[in-house]
Structure 1
């Protein structure tokens, strides 16, 4: 736990209510007697179009996957065929206690050429969102989840001079055609990671390693969030918009080194503070999505700017350090925006599903503790609903509550963790999950 006064804890925290006392919000209502989460709390899981749909041949990620010079391990191919199986997938999730679901729209399907919008794609996503609503699943719909149409990428992507104008055009069309079926809109997914992975580390498209451009892209994506908020207000319905940000718990690799500590603060400024402090003014949105996976050590002496977790620290298949209390600390930091919070991604890549159950128990306990400390958290969406394509890592990492047999007609099989998640979603009680020990 970080000491009071750290960048992740407010200097004067809210009083801690006793277990069972109410922590209320306008949308969630009071706690049930003895429950850890309030009635009306949103429970669900998340996917992204390119990771599950299959056949997204017209975006920059498809090109990246098929370029042997890139870091991509394999092609997304058919995904998990969610494009055709979304109805059965939503039925399965609803049957397991989910009352919300996060997904994304594939921009390259909707606008396959500049200014050319696909009626077929828009009709498809209208059917998808209707199917969600029909099953009682509250939709969190992401407008940009990592992928770009090839034509947009060819113009320079987020570095193009008209990037914001083109993104606004896409968002405006989505608002008109689909806004009435989008109660929650996630504008831009993990802008820091788009910038960091794609323009500094180079293992996501466009594969650039430039110490200046990644910062420029990050600021452009923050502006893209505001553009999307404005656009969504021009269409149908009354979507509530939020930026969704991945917020690692950053720490210096060498705590006794003043230079390393200072560099950690610099990186925190670029990866965390830029996006949270930038959420002010009229177009900041209505809520904030918090995505948390790991504690991460910063090292200015490392070619990658980050250090491997210390020996003995538990890590996932992704090499990420598991640190449950980091989620509580990050929720405190995110709350400084004054916006209601939803955990829009949180999960672990592991072949051992018992690890996933433990991860759920410890991280949901962290969410419950943050709420008991006065933080306004209104929902939790686990990453991910299904084992799926994990970007440059391919299909090796297993994040899903539900396994998919891609060699046997994409058969879906819920894991024990899916049933554990169902128990807590239906009861709102941490006691429905095993003690993480």
Structure 2
């Protein structure tokens, strides 16, 4: 019997833009996703945009009842910046009522809300001014964070500032996946720096407000594994870790941007524009806990034809296919449960064993109706196996002293996934888009219920 500690947080994760719907109504202003969909709907899978998603705006009470039925004791979602402060200053009272009832309902059912402030949903009014490229974004986010703390601080005791900040940096400014879909290394560095400073300003606001609770950040940590022990491959691994993991881990937990990263950016002529007092802000505002999203490892090798200064990530490190890898064919992601143990060990040894939890872990699969039984229940044994394997490795890390306090899967009900729309499904509950968003539990949801009751398997 693999058993987890008492008071362990068992739950699921989601975000406002991927679940709420009502994205251009009820007082909400457009985000970059709303605007991009209006401009280029052909980029989105089957024309599935952010307007309705999973209709949680109308169905959250019933969903919370379902969470309680499964035994979840925690749930992470986000506040939509564009819903709460449509123009950056004016409070939308309908949004206040919605979120307060949402969070109160969770608490009434014994489910702790973990509330995140930013999940890739940059307000369009701010994007028109330059978004994270400009320093004004730091002040705008600070205002938004302080407003959220004031309005909901009596209901929420666990806050996070950003979900996967490296994603909107890399996907938007280095890989062409998310708006503005450009490749510009200098802008990417500046966007990353402003995001980092916005995080610390929010933490500073939180502490100044005297909120009864804790504040952290959610990072997607994919440990880098080198192709070989050659100096060039090991250098690629070091840089991959510095950029993708340590760039936020070190300042948020240890209070300092890695010196090696600063030196590399300086040599490349890519150092960001900073302001006096930034270092003090970083040093004096460490997080209370970490959320870690883990899906896959990074397999890296030295670039075949590197450029310096780099113009893309492939000038710094390249991916390679590990010969022994297993792959989720629907996402193209490697399935490597041992990586979650390596994360647990890293946090214990390198990051003062700070309290942390798995904020996302899950498996997206397309066309799941293929696996439905005669009663219409999707027999997603693949998802159960995925969770079981990762939980075994997480349990190993905890048993060796890593300070992990919870496990959240992505996600509770099937949700909208950016350009991918509803191509891949992740939920414990199927969402039927053709039948008023009807929810139907999958086999994995029933398995998770049993596991929570037994605190293991």
How far 1:393 sits from its partner (Å)? 1.4
Deviations 1:21-79 (A, max 9, x none): xxxxxxxxxxxxx7621111110001101111113231111122333388543312311
Deviations 1:98-121 (A, max 9, x none): 000001000001111131221111
- Over the aligned positions, Cα root-mean-square deviation in angstroms equals 1.9
Verify: 1:284 aligned to 2:256, yes or no: no
Q: Point out the more displaced range, 342-351 or 235-244.
A: 235-244
Verify: 1:68 aligned to 2:40, yes or no: yes
Q: SS of the counterpart of 2:358?
A: strand
Distance 1:337 1:256, change over 3 A: closer
Q: Point out the more displaced range, 67-76 or 257-266.
A: 67-76
Mapping for residues 295-334 of structure 1, pairs under 5 Å: 295-299=297-301, 300-301=303-304, 305=314, 306-307=318-319, 309-310=321-322, 313-316=325-328, 317-334=330-347
Q: Supply the distance in 2 between the matched residues of 1:148 and 1:231 (Cα, whole angstroms).
A: 20
How far 1:257 sits from its partner (Å)? 5.1
Q: SS of the counterpart of 1:198?
A: helix
Mapping for residues 12-411 of structure 1, pairs under 5 Å: 36-57=3-24, 58-68=30-40, 71-73=43-45, 74=47, 75-235=49-209, 237-252=211-226, 254-255=227-228, 258-278=231-251, 279=253, 280=255, 281-299=283-301, 300-301=303-304, 305=314, 306-307=318-319, 309-310=321-322, 313-316=325-328, 317-335=330-348, 336-338=350-352, 339-350=354-365, 351=368, 353-411=380-438
Q: SS of the counterpart of 1:370?
A: helix
Deviations 1:182-209 (A, max 9, x none): 1110111111112111111120122121
How far 1:162 sits from its partner (Å)? 1.3
Aligned to 1:13: none
Q: Supply the distance in 1 between the matched residues of 2:38 and 2:334 (Cα, whole angstroms).
A: 30
Distance 1:213 1:301, change over 3 A: farther
Distance 1:251 1:72, change over 3 A: farther
Q: SS of the counterpart of 1:417?
A: helix
Q: SS of the counterpart of 2:116?
A: strand
Q: Supply the distance in 2 between the matched residues of 1:332 and 1:94 (Cα, whole angstroms).
A: 32
Q: Supply the distance in 2 between the matched residues of 1:271 and 1:71 (Cα, whole angstroms).
A: 26
Q: Supply the distance in 2 between the matched residues of 1:227 and 1:189 (Cα, whole angstroms).
A: 16
How far 1:216 sits from its partner (Å)? 2.4
Gaps of 5+ in 1: 1-33, 433-437
Distance 1:62 1:344, change over 3 A: same
Report if aligned partners of 2:292, 2:358 keep a CA contact under 8 Å in 1. Answer: yes
- Alignment length, in residue pairs? 396
TM-score, length-scaled by structure 1 = 0.86
Q: Supply the distance in 1 between the matched residues of 2:68 and 2:438 (Cα, whole angstroms).
A: 18
Q: Point out the more displaced range, 173-182 or 293-302.
A: 293-302
Distance 1:239 1:71, change over 3 A: farther
Report if aligned partners of 1:35, 1:427 keep a CA contact under 8 Å in 2. Answer: no
TM-score, length-scaled by structure 2 = 0.82
Report if aligned partners of 1:109, 1:121 keep a CA contact under 8 Å in 2. Answer: yes
Deviations 1:223-278 (A, max 9, x none): 222111122234474131011100012223x4265434312321210111121211
Q: SS of the counterpart of 2:326?
A: coil
Considering fraction of residues, name the structure with more helix: 2
Aligned to 2:274: none
Q: Supply the distance in 2 between the matched residues of 1:308 and 1:83 (Cα, whole angstroms).
A: 42
How far 1:301 sits from its partner (Å)? 3.6
Q: SS of the counterpart of 2:299?
A: strand
How far 1:297 sits from its partner (Å)? 2.2
Q: Supply the distance in 1 between the matched residues of 2:210 and 2:430 (Cα, whole angstroms).
A: 36
Gaps of 5+ in 2: 25-29, 256-282, 306-311, 372-379
